[in-house]
Amino acid sequence: MPPEIPHRIHCRLDELLEQRGLSLTELADEVGITVVNLSVLKNDRAKAIRFSTLTALCEVLDCEPGDLITLTP
């Protein structure tokens, strides 16, 4: 099996939470997913994200997908 190729996707969840005065636990409750899964996303360890989860995050955070997820150089 070939070694895993690192991705360049960065999740700006920390920044958006701080701007909106929300905790990870509050966001998890509002979105309906676990804190552990949000933490995986927040720490750039996620391999994928469901569109339904992305939609819920954007609705709660009042943002667009590009505000939440960026491509690093």
Supply 19's token pair: 């701007």
Task: Write out pLDDT tens, residues 53-65.
Answer: 999 999 999 999 9
The pLDDT of residue 30: 96
Task: Write out pLDDT tens, residues 63-72.
Answer: 999 999 999 9
Answer yes or no: pTM beyond 0.85. yes
Domains and their CATH numbers in the chain: 9-65 (1.10.260.40)
Task: Write out pLDDT tens, residues 30-54.
Answer: 999 999 999 999 999 999 999 999 9
**Which amino acid is residue 2, in one-letter code?**
P
